[in-house]
Structure 1
């Protein structure tokens, strides 16, 4: 009877671990056998070393980031599950990158152009958020990582617009260029153009005012999920207009 209960508890513990360990959508599972082979195929690789069945707030943030940039062809996001029991899978691989024990989990490492002996370490040890991880990748590589709801070319044009001395003329140029966008991108481009027109009417200070307004709306408890996503995307687009050194007014 005791043996049966013990086996049941072990099984329950395993099942509980599997339930807690949410699948990281957009991630690739790496191990000591395929690590170098896969990383070498990408311009940038962001890898999380963690326990074999990861869970918790940091894992959730990492998973969210992986989902957000899943379409980026220059960046791969991967996980290395390290076991401190049994055959201790991937333990030596983790130690190679300075991860000596489970106390170091989770640890993020960034690899550029497949170079595996020059990994950059994510410096944040406490609370993670997706913006921190995004900035870590952007600051240490030259690839574009857009926020959800943004377009790479429109982000570039928003920066050019906000820096331009003659914003009216720049707006006309940008409006013409948007005609060449594919149909599915035009709705998003319209939001960028709308904000540009508001800047022409109200000055650059409109960006800060609108940002604050959207942030307040997002804090409302009764907001529907679809509306919340739309507001978040619009807020992300506004971030493309924040350029240091611009005047407060036209």
Structure 2
């Protein structure tokens, strides 16, 4: 069931409430859908239904670069049924719409946009304080939950293998995981996915040969290349390689 459909099923019974509405915007393909629910009923009936819910508290009608980056996050996360990407629009004028909900979670208008991440239905969220862009938000989600949203140019199957590959100290286990990655590479049909898989496998081979320090050295090398005068296509290729390298570094996620 899609994210948009699930949200509609959960919230459709609360439209037109006699209590002030909370506008929870669920981002779907091609735009933003808004469901109006009451603070006491809607929030508790929607947000805890997901394993993880990332919520942006913002002005009632947001715009600008940060909002665009948040929309990119929603597009990247639409394939994960465990994740809700939502927004609460807050007014500090007129009927003060949703101001009580913002206050409940310690958000003031000076904080806008403020992102909070709710995991396993808990009412105490993680606060996002990083650079406000889609890639940092993805890393934030992965750091605090089991929800997978890969960085651009990454593949979930290989990220999962790499997680185990980099956390085990047993060389025999590492070699077994490399073989598993090679087998998964052989199964791929898409040329672009095959190319990405090749990058993972080559990096894994280098780690076995040179040790974990290869990752930081290679990251530095790639970042240096990206500073130079290269074509847009080459820069995108290098960014993809850099994102794969980040999958090998747990403190990057």
Q: How many residues matched?
A: 216
Q: What is the CA distance between 1:206 and its match in structure 2?
A: 3.0
Structure 2 CA distance for partners of 1:131 and 1:107, relative to 1, 3 Å: same
Q: Secondary structure at the match of 1:179?
A: helix
Of 101, 121, 127, the residue aligned with 1:122 is: 127
The structure with the larger Rg is 1
The residue number in structure 1 matching 2:19 is: none
The residue number in structure 1 matching 2:102 is: 94
Matches of 2:98 and 2:227 in 1, distance apart?
42
Q: Taking CA–CA contacts closer than 8 Å with sequence separation of 6 or more, which of the two structures ends up with the larger relative contact order?
A: 1
Q: Secondary structure at the match of 1:197?
A: helix
Q: What is the CA distance between 1:79 and its match in structure 2?
A: 1.0
The residue number in structure 2 matching 1:55 is: 63
2:240 equivalent to 1:233: yes
5 Å matches for 1:1-250?
29=34, 31-33=36-38, 34-99=42-107, 101-115=108-122, 118-122=123-127, 124=129, 127-130=131-134, 132-162=136-166, 163=168, 164-166=170-172, 167-168=174-175, 170-181=177-188, 183=190, 185-220=193-228, 222-224=230-232, 226-242=233-249
Q: CA RMSD in A?
A: 3.2
TM superposition score normalised by structure 1: 0.69
Matches of 1:182 and 1:192 in 2, distance apart?
16
Deviation string 1:123-167 (CA, Å, 9 cap, x unpaired) is 52x853445533443343232332222122211222433444135
Matches of 2:175 and 2:125 in 1, distance apart?
43
TM superposition score normalised by structure 2: 0.68
Stretches of structure 1 lacking an aligned partner (at least 5 in a row): 1-23, 245-250
Counting strand residues as a fraction of each chain, which structure ranks higher? 2
